[in-house]
């Protein structure tokens, strides 16, 4: 678990290897929960990605993508799935993908007024 601090921009970095049998991305989500605010405020966030083929003489950042200043409504104690699939356009089998997820807690668009907990990520593909 990583705490995405209220009032600050907090960055998480992780990576994934796209499996050999990958054909198409169905969903990519970051899982978060906020436990301190009873309302359903918006969390502002951004992602950036860099990816390239493993052992194919490709640079790690041959391909890049991003989603900036997105918002997701959070409900107290609910495990929320933040859709980050828009920052993974163009991934193919055997890519190594570096993902940066930023909670924009210091921005006016982030209304949570509490820490948010990053619990993990999930990826579904065919």
Are residues 44 and 114 in contact, defined by beta-carbon separation less than 8 angstroms? Answer: no
Q: What is the pTM of this model?
A: 0.92
Structure confidence at residue 92 (pLDDT): 96
Is pLDDT above 80 for 100? yes
Residue 39 has pLDDT above 80, yes or no: no
Q: What is the 3-state secondary structure (H, E, C) of 48-80?
A: EEEEEECCCCCCCCCEEEEEEEEEEECCCCCCE
Q: Residue range 40-46: average pLDDT?
A: 93
User: What is the rounded distance in angstroms from the CA atom of residue 51 to the CA atom of residue 60?
Assistant: 5
| Domains assigned to the chain | 2-125 (2.60.290)
Q: Mind listing the pLDDT tens digit for each residue in 101-121?
A: 999 999 999 999 899 999 999
Q: What is the mean pLDDT of the chain?
A: 95
């Amino acid at each position: 678990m990583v705490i995405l601090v209220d009032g600050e921009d907090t960055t998480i970095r992780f990576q994934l290897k796209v499996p050999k049998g990958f054909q198409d991305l169905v969903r990519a989500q970051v899982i978060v929960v906020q436990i301190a605010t009873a309302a359903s405020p918006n969390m502002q966030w951004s992602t950036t990605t860099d990816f390239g083929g493993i052992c194919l003489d490709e640079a790690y950042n041959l391909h890049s993508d991003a989603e900036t200043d997105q918002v997701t409504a959070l409900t107290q104690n609910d495990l929320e799935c933040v859709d980050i699939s828009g920052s993974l356009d163009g991934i193919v089998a055997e890519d190594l993908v570096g993902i940066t997820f930023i909670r924009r807690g210091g921005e006016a668009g982030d209304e949570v007024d509490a820490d948010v907990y990053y619990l993990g990520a999930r990826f579904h593909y065919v």
